Amino acid sequence: MQDLTSLWESVLNKLELNVSNVSFVMWFKPLKVVDFVDGKKLIIASNSTSAKNQIMRNYFDKLSKSVEDVFGENIEISILDQNEELEYIKQNGDKTKEKEVEVTKNPFNAKYTFDNFVVGKSNQFVYAAARAIAEHPGEKFNPLFIYGGVGLGKTHLLHAIGNFLKESNPNLNVLYVTCEQFANDYIESLGSAPSSKSKAVLQFRTKYRNLDVLMVDDIQFISKKTSTQEEFFYTFNELYQNNKQIVITSDRPPRDIETLTDRLRSRFTSGLIQDIQSPDLETKIAILRKKCQIEKYSIDDEAIYTIAENVNSNIRELEGMLSKVYFLASLSNKHTATKEDVMEAIDSQIEEDKNEGLTTDDIIDAVCKYFDITRADIVGKKKSKEVVEPRMIAIYLIIEILEIPLISVGKIFGGRDHSTIGHSRDKIADQIKTSHKTQTFISEIKKMLKGG
């Protein structure tokens, strides 16, 4: 059991690493935790409606991710403004003082089930294989090796197998780990003090070698470190020989994982290797419909079609776009989202993607060009006014646009320390509020960066 306020502090600590300093101070720091209801709904209060909207629009993913890391999966997040907060406390009392929270991370994500997995041409075989394994673990394909690009449903399928088995066969010992967790687990057992070392390793082995089903996600991250691979090799053999099911995923087939030792590669190749491909248009539409049904989103057909046509890369992005569209529609109090909302969401995505493509060099080059100075000057030690202001502007823009930590920015600017960098950033942030000249500099350089 932990108290709610300290859990919320851990969420903020995680967020602080993931957003720029300015955004953290402006949007996140003022947030307060209000309540945590039934172990699944987290209620937060913000001190202004604009902060609430900013977070919902631009940072919701980051917020959810940090909440998930601390509170577990499938937590619904609700942000209240001041009035809503007062109303809430009036009705429910102030919970933050006494509330103790039990955080039990359910190993399998309840949303990732076979029922919620839409089957189409791109994934029908892998679905069939995963299903067969869930129904007859250890008897069909062993190991099952699933590979395919990011966001195409590999993790979803592993959790679906887990959820299915938990339901149908609660006594089975089923474990899902990422490749990284396996490695950390092992290394930690080795790292124990010498006297307890063999005991820790023994515990590790008891945990992994007595499983009925072992699922390892993202095996491409297996390190070259031979001891970890060796341990995995023995774990694999032990389970395999006892007809225990092994399922592995990767972003590429075994032959393309360079770090893999030959003997593990040949083990992986001995079962069924099945790829998962990008969804076609029909499957994308079906996935969007399913998701709307699950989330109770109301979106018209034309809007769904437009999303499916415009998002090509992967299903996670498809879902991201859908949430954005729904959020935009709800801002204008529309009951049903339309194509108009999709177009707006796509535009704002394009803006974001543009920023993502930018590098520190692009920003430095643009600033140099704008002020007609050299790169050597801007990152160097000169203290004349002609270079000091452009330098501070470049620092400000790099931090604001790319959200890079102050220390790293300091390295780019000739090893300046982080407080100097922070000072430059703050100075420009202040000037923007009062000086028309600074505003113009910033907006014109931003225009240059956008290719305008």
Contacts (Cβ under 8 Å, ≥6 apart) of 213: 137, 138, 161, 162, 165, 172, 173, 174, 175, 244, 245, 246, 247
Whole-number Å distance between alpha carbons of 269 and 304: 39
By CB under 5 A, the residues from 21 to 60 that bind Mg ion are none
Q: How far is the CB of 118 from Mg ion (least distance, A)?
A: 17
The site partner of 306 among Mg ion, ligand ADP, none (C-beta below 5 to 8 Å per kind) is none
In the complex with Mg ion, the residue whose CB is nearer, 154 or 244, is 154
Q: Does 316 help bind ligand ADP (rule: CB under 6 A)?
A: yes
Residue 168: exposure state from Cβ atoms within 10 A (0-12, 13-18, ≥19): exposed
* DSSP notation for 356-378: HH--HHHHHHHHHHHHT--HHHH
The site partner of 232 among Mg ion, ligand ADP, none (C-beta below 5 to 8 Å per kind) is none
In the complex with Mg ion, the residue whose CB is nearer, 25 or 150, is 150
In the complex with Mg ion, the residue whose CB is nearer, 16 or 317, is 317
In the complex with ligand ADP, the residue whose CB is nearer, 156 or 416, is 156
By CB under 6 A, the residues from 84 to 123 that bind ligand ADP are 112, 116-118, 123
Contacts (Cβ under 8 Å, ≥6 apart) of 328: 337, 341, 344, 345
By CB under 5 A, the residues from 152 to 171 that bind Mg ion are 154-155
Whole-number Å distance between alpha carbons of 179 and 114: 23
- Listed ranges 189-197, 228-236, 301-309, 315-323: which one lies at the site for ligand ADP (CB under 6 A): 315-323
By CB under 6 A, the residues from 261 to 300 that bind ligand ADP are 287, 290
The site partner of 273 among Mg ion, ligand ADP, none (C-beta below 5 to 8 Å per kind) is none
- Per the listing, tokens 């937060």 go with 44
53 CB-side CA count, 13 A:
8
The site partner of 151 among Mg ion, ligand ADP, none (C-beta below 5 to 8 Å per kind) is ligand ADP
Chain position whose Cβ is nearest to ligand ADP: 153
The site partner of 425 among Mg ion, ligand ADP, none (C-beta below 5 to 8 Å per kind) is none
Cis-peptide, bond into residue 143, ω within 30° of zero? yes
Q: How far is the CB of 181 from ligand ADP (least distance, A)?
A: 15
What the block records as the tokens of 100 is 């103790």
Percentages of the chain per state (helix, strand, coil), in multiples of 5: 60, 10, 30
Amino acid identity, position 16: E
Whole-number Å distance between alpha carbons of 415 and 409: 9
In the complex with ligand ADP, the residue whose CB is nearer, 192 or 349, is 349
Nearest to 249 by CA among 333, 162, 344: 162
Whole-number Å distance between alpha carbons of 289 and 183: 38
Q: What x/- string results for residues 155 through 174 when contact with ligand ADP is judged by CB under 6 A?
A: xx------------------
Q: Does 151 help bind ligand ADP (rule: CB under 6 A)?
A: yes
Q: Does 109 help bind Mg ion (rule: CB under 5 A)?
A: no
In the complex with Mg ion, the residue whose CB is nearer, 219 or 303, is 219
Q: How far is the CB of 241 from Mg ion (least distance, A)?
A: 28
Q: What x/- string results for residues 61 through 100 when contact with Mg ion is judged by CB under 5 A?
A: ----------------------------------------
Question: Do residues 248 and 99 make contact, with C-beta atoms less than 8 angstroms apart?
Answer: no
Q: Does 283 help bind Mg ion (rule: CB under 5 A)?
A: no
Q: How far is the CB of 316 from Mg ion (least distance, A)?
A: 9
b/e per residue 275-310 (b: at least 16 CB within 10 A) = bbebbeeebbbbbbbebbeeeebebeeebbbbbbee
In the complex with Mg ion, the residue whose CB is nearer, 42 or 216, is 216
Residues that bind ligand ADP (CB under 6 A): 112, 116-118, 123, 150-156, 287, 290, 315-316, 319
Residues that bind Mg ion (CB under 5 A): 154-155
